[in-house]
Amino acid sequence: MDYTEWEQTVLGAITGDPLWRVEAYRLALFAADLGWHDVTRLMRDRRTLSLPDQLYRALGGIGSCICEGYSRGTGRDRARFYEYSLGSTRESRDWYYKGRPCPRRGRHISSPESPDSDRTTLAGNDS
């Protein structure tokens, strides 16, 4: 499912909220939904059992911190939560890197159908 298709599936209670206009929030929700499938795949391998929990917590934290920051009254308070969101984004990238396909460890997240699938670009390449 691509982003445009995904957007059509989001509940009206979420898309009707003013927060929906914040692109970073929409992308965070999309990343969390994509991550759900990756977490499910990681849970199938006993070697990566602790990784899916950490990954999904980090992915969930991105949007949650954006929500909380958006709702804060002062710019300083809002910025603090946006920084937390950035931290969760980087943490997600780190967990994705640890679950990536590795010739010596075998495949975890990427499927054989899409060997170049890579979500480690979550926080950008220049971060």
Cα 118–Cα 119–Cα 120 angle in degrees, nearest 5: 95
pLDDT digits (tens, 9 = 90+) for 16-73: 999 999 999 999 999 999 999 999 988 988 888 889 999 999 999 999 999 999 999 8
Alpha-carbon span 111 to 109, nearest angstrom: 6
102: β partners: 106
Position of tokens 């308070």?
77
pLDDT digits (tens, 9 = 90+) for 113-124: 444 445 555 555
pTM reported for the whole predicted model: 0.78
Residue 122 Cα to chain centre, angstroms: 7
For the chain, report the end-to-end CA distance as a whole number of angstroms: 27
Half-sphere exposure of 93 (CA within 13 A, CB side): 14
